[in-house]
A and B are shown apart, each in its own frame.
Chain A
Amino acid sequence: MHPVARDTLMAAVDAGWADPRRLYAEGRTARRLLDQAVEVLAAGLRVRPSELSFAPSGPAAVRLAVDGALHAGRRRGSRLVATAVEHSAVLAPGRHRAAQVGDERLFAEVPVDGTGRVDLAALAEAVGVAGTAAAAVQHANGEVGTLQPLGLAHGVCRAAGIPLIVDAQASLGRVGSPASYDVLAGDAQSWGGPGGLGVLAVPERTRWSLPGPAGEPGLGRSGHTPWVPLALAAAEAWQQAEATREEEERQARALVDLVRAAAAAVPDVEVVGHPTDRLPHIVTFSALYVDGEALVHEFDRRGFAIASGSACTASTLEPSHVLAAMGALTHGNVRITLPLASVSPRRALDVERFCAALPEVVLDVRAQLGAEHL
């Protein structure tokens, strides 16, 4: 979390603790603070304040985005189209819904190419199938960083009269906000904001409504009223991130390029994801004949917190669906999400140290398996 946003959060616990729906003085103060936060975030996403809502988390925002689009489109049918590399907040409920009804056509997964970009022809075909109610294409992938061609995807969906849900959980605040969508979902953590706050942008032109009875009127179209200090901290973090974004993006890209080059220089290591059309701060690579869990531990021992899409590091023992959909090697996988410079001022040094350690760690772990000469 951004240090200034942290200070805001602490101060707001005192100033904005009250329920913003109440009419006493503290409630009115909380309401005023919340309205300010909404204004900042709505401007950042280039929507009107009335078009912005909140959710209890990024994944919850994504699920709301899908539920509302499907419910509003229920006369057309209940089929959902999604890329094979969407977040599990899209894929898991989609598969579950289809399985419950016993009709696998209710959920269609559109393939991606080797860089992780959606196959637009397959998307066009999928949204053209009768009974389709909505389509989901992420802005960028949180595991491999690849940006999707959203303008083209939106055009394809528009031509078929299908609303496009865009999951921007990995990208908001890191690159320019997407403009091509009908419903947008994000996570305040992506721009250095607090955990436990998802955002949802539903422009007035979009037909979107949640199933079930209307609850107590809340904020925006989701009706979820967030804890005000979280919204304030998210707005503060947004302003901080926005003010430094271009320089931050340039620096992060340069650091990630160093990691990509260091990884590619190790024998039988493949850097995964699109080489240029990608988020500035995420880098992923897979090392042949290497145990992902051993890599995580070995880097952790040296003070690096890395993630992995390898099956052995997942509680399910299933490899990353993103790597599998791209045809990438899933074992020996390492994923680095670079923190913002404002959050981690020493990151350039850390990257330098990581690049220096990388070849030795990979070769050591490979040698432990007796696979160094294969």
Chain B
Amino acid sequence: MKPEIDQAPPPATLTVDARGLRCPLPVIRLAQAAGDRAPGTVIALWATDPAARADVPAWCRMRGHDLLDVSESGDDGGVHTAYTVRLGEPAR
């Protein structure tokens, strides 16, 4: 369910399912998945924790990654937020 005017984010190379986990675990799972992957890798994070709404953008800012898309998704497991992140150049 994305607004029509937005371009769909590029397909993710991998998806991290952090539904049901509370802060700071979704961001830790995301960082673990990012690991040493090449810049440009696209990762999708699924989370239900309300704090992720602030913390995923803050993590991207601190680590130099791009947050491409944030959208609500629903399936049989309930509603979650899907964050699409493109990794930037390693800062360290």
* Contact A327/B54 with A310-B23, A317-B22, A332-B24 known, Cβ cut-off 8 Å: yes
With contacts A289-B28, A311-B22, A312-B22 taken as known, whether A327 is within 8 angstroms of B57 at the C-beta atoms is yes
A292 CA to B22 CA, complexed, in Å = 11
User: Which of B24, B54, B59 interacts with A290 by CB under 8 Å?
Assistant: B24
A319 within 8 A of B: yes
Q: Is the CB of B62 within 8 A of A319?
A: no
| B-chain residues with CB within 8 Å of residue A310 when the two chains form the complex | 23, 51
State which of A292, A319, A374 has its C-beta within 8 Å of the C-beta of B54.
A319
The answer to whether B23 touches A371, judged by C-beta atoms less than 8 angstroms apart, is no
**Cβ of B32 < 8 Å from any Cβ of A?**
yes
How many angstroms from the CA of A369 to the CA of B62 in the assembled complex? Answer: 19
Tell me the chain A residues, 69-106 only, with Cβ under 8 Å from chain B.
Answer: none
The residue from A317, A327, A329 contacting B50, defined by CB atoms under 8 A apart: A317
Interface centre among B32, B49, B50, B51 (most CB of A within 10 A): B51
Q: Which residues of A contact B53 (CB under 8 A)?
A: 324
CA distance A319 to B58 in the complex (A): 13
Q: Are B51 and A319 in contact (CB under 8 A)?
A: yes
Smallest CB gap from A320: residue in B: B54
Query: How long is the Cα–Cα vector from A268 to B49 in the complex, in angstroms?
Result: 22
A327-B24 in contact given A319-B50, A319-B54, A374-B31 (Cβ < 8 Å): no
Cα A354 to Cα B22 with chains together (Å): 27
A328–B56 alpha-carbon span in the complex (Å):
10
Q: Please state if B22 and A329 are interface contacts (CB–CB under 8 Å).
A: no
Q: Which residues of B contact A311 (CB under 8 A)?
A: 22-23, 49-51
Name A's interface SS.
loop
> Is A39 part of the contact surface with B, judged by Cβ < 8 Å?
no
* Chain B residue nearest to A321 in the complex (CB): B54
For residue B17, CB closer than 8 A to chain A, the reply is no
Q: Are A327 and B61 in contact (CB under 8 A)?
A: yes
Asked if residues B23 and A312 are in contact (CB atoms below 8 Å), the reply is yes
A290, A319, A332 — most chain B CB neighbours (10 Å): A319
Given contacts A270-B62, A327-B57, A328-B58, contact A289 B27 (CB under 8 A): yes
Q: Note all chain B residues with C-beta closer than 8 A to A374.
A: 28, 31-32
**Chain A 285-330 residues near chain B, CB threshold 8 A:** 286, 288-292, 310-312, 317-319, 323-324, 327-330
Q: Which residues on A sit within 8 Å (CB–CB) of B28?
A: 289, 369-371, 374
A221 within 8 A of B: no
Residue A331, interface by CB 8 Å: yes
Chain B 27-45 interface mask (CB, 8 Å, partner A; 1/0): 1100110000000000000
B44: min CB distance to chain A, Å: 19
Contact of A328 among B24, B32, B50, B54 (CB under 8 A): B54
Residues of B within 8 A of A332 (CB): 24
Given known A311-B51, A374-B31, contact A330–B62 (CB-CB < 8 A): no
B59 touching A288 by the CB < 8 A rule?
A: yes
Q: A324-B53, A331-B24, A374-B32 are in contact. List 17 more A-B contacts (CB 8 A).
A: A270-B62, A286-B58, A288-B24, A289-B27, A289-B31, A291-B24, A311-B49, A317-B22, A318-B50, A319-B54, A328-B58, A329-B55, A330-B58, A331-B27, A369-B28, A370-B28, A371-B31
Which 4 residue pairs of A and B lie closest in terms of their CB atoms, listed nearest first?
Answer: A331-B24, A324-B54, A311-B51, A329-B58
Name 25 A/B residue pairs within 8 A (Cβ), A-sorted. Answer: A268-B62, A286-B58, A289-B24, A289-B27, A289-B28, A290-B24, A311-B23, A312-B22, A312-B23, A317-B50, A318-B51, A319-B50, A319-B54, A324-B54, A327-B54, A327-B58, A327-B61, A328-B54, A330-B55, A330-B58, A331-B24, A331-B27, A370-B28, A374-B28, A374-B32
